[in-house]
Structure 1
Amino acid sequence: MEWTGQVYADIPTVSVSTYIDASAEQVWALVSDIHLMPRLSSELQEVEWLDGASAPRPGGRFIGRSAHPDLGTWETTSTVVECKAPQSFGWAVGDPDHPSSVWRFTLTRQGSGTALEQWAQMGPARSGLTFAIEAMPDKEQKIVFVRLREFETGMKANLAALKDLVEQEQ
């Protein structure tokens, strides 16, 4: 990831992608399983569906509990904003109309396999990062850049783990 000089108000995004030698349906089964994500993520510790949901659906909500050495622990409520099997699965953290972040997996058939992209957007609503920015406003660009790099590193690890899981099942 290259230095962009972005600030939080820019609503910065980051994405990573990989090719998986498996069908989109096989990949979809994993990326839409929120209970798998804590096993892959270094930050996300636990998730649980809300409102009696047990599977992804548009408008479905879930709680995520996360931890980070510099940011502490926190809990968020997310809403599924995209759920098109086997093409995309996305959720907004906080208010879906004004989220603190948005996350999405996009699956594209490519030959006999699937191109998988994970994408994330920071903001526009306040998040835990906002407190760090307010405490050190002169370092906002660096704070945003470092957090985007953390997102990118975590997303690369997620995709590598998903690729291994799916391809091992073959």
Structure 2
Amino acid sequence: MEWTGARYADKPTVEVRAWVGAPPDRVWELVSDVTLMPAMSGELQSVEWLDGATGPALGARFVGRNKHDSFGEWETTSQVIEHDRGRVFAWAVGDTENPSAVWRFRLEPKDGGTDLSQWMQMGPGRSGLSFAIDAMPDKEQKIVFVRLREFERNMAGVLEHIRKLAEV
């Protein structure tokens, strides 16, 4: 059977959901504070706001430094593209018109707590994964699949970390 997984140009996505026993305002404080994210991720090493920004706002930019066993170390600049307090927080990595990735948290009140989701889209702009695909174009779909599963596992860990912090 032929592999029919997504290609990078398809802008594949992954989403993870969790219920958090805390109100959306409390969860929002955590998901919109990108400087907390390195403590929740094995890949993201540090984050700092740029251009005098001190917190989340539409158009605010931040730099993230990352490390991965297969890809090495790199840094990216992201820009907040959605900022709806208590509901949506999203950023584009790299160029906002042609990002290498888009990340989004959505929060909805549910059963006295918050239904929290983290979603991400690969591409369409080039990323570190593009170099692996360039080197092994015949394995593109497997490379994309494996990376999406890594993101899914990491995102589940992030949501669990947020849940524990919010429910204290």
Normalising by the smaller structure, the TM-score range is over 0.9
One-letter code aligned to 1:8: Y
Q: Which residue pairs with 1:93 in the alignment?
A: 93
Structure 2: which amino acid aligns with 1:65? R
- For 1:86, the aligned partner's letter is G
Identical positions, percent: 58
Distance (whole Å) between structure 2 residues aligned to residue 111 and residue 163 of structure 1: 15
2:125 is the alignment partner of 1:125:
yes
Instruction: Verify: 1:145 aligned to 2:126, yes or no.
Output: no
Say whether 1:134 aligns with 2:134. yes
1:106-125 superposed matches below 5 A: 106-125=106-125
Query: What is aligned with 1:14?
Result: 14
Return the TM-score normalized by structure 2: 0.97
- What do the CA deviations read for 1:42-67 (whole angstroms, capped 9, x no partner)? 10000000000001000000000000
In 2, Cα distance between the equivalents of 1:80 and 1:59? Answer: 5
Give the C-alpha shift of residue 4 in structure 1: 5.8
Matched residues, number? 166
Q: 3-state DSSP class of the match of 1:74?
A: strand
CA distance in 1, matches of 2:18, 2:105: 11
In the alignment, which residue of structure 2 is the partner of 1:167? 167
Pairwise CA distance, 1:108:
0.4
Cα deviations across residues 55-83 of structure 1 (Å, max 9, x unaligned)? Answer: 10000000000000000000000000011
Moved over 4 A (4+): none
Distance 1:22 1:5 in 2: 37
Residue 51 in structure 1 maps to residue 35 in structure 2: no
Q: Which amino acid aligns with 2:64?
A: G
Residues 74 and 108 of structure 1, relative CA distance in 2, 3 Å threshold: same
Taking a change above 3 Å as real, the CA distance of residues 4 and 151 of structure 1, as seen in their structure-2 partners, is: farther
Is contact 1:107-1:117 (8 Å) kept?
yes
Residue 111 of structure 1 and its aligned partner are, at CA, apart by 2.2
Give unpaired runs (5+ residues) of structure 2.
Answer: none
User: TM-score of the superposition, structure 1-length normalised?
Assistant: 0.96
Match of 2:74 in 1: 74
Partner Cα distance (1:121, 1:30) in 2 = 21
What is the CA distance between 1:97 and its match in structure 2?
1.0
CA contact (8 A) 1:4 1:145 kept: no
CA distance in 1, matches of 2:146, 2:61: 29
Partner of 2:105: 105
* Partner SS for 1:42: coil
2:162 maps to amino acid: L
1:135 maps to a residue whose letter is: A
CA distance in 2, matches of 1:4, 1:167: 41
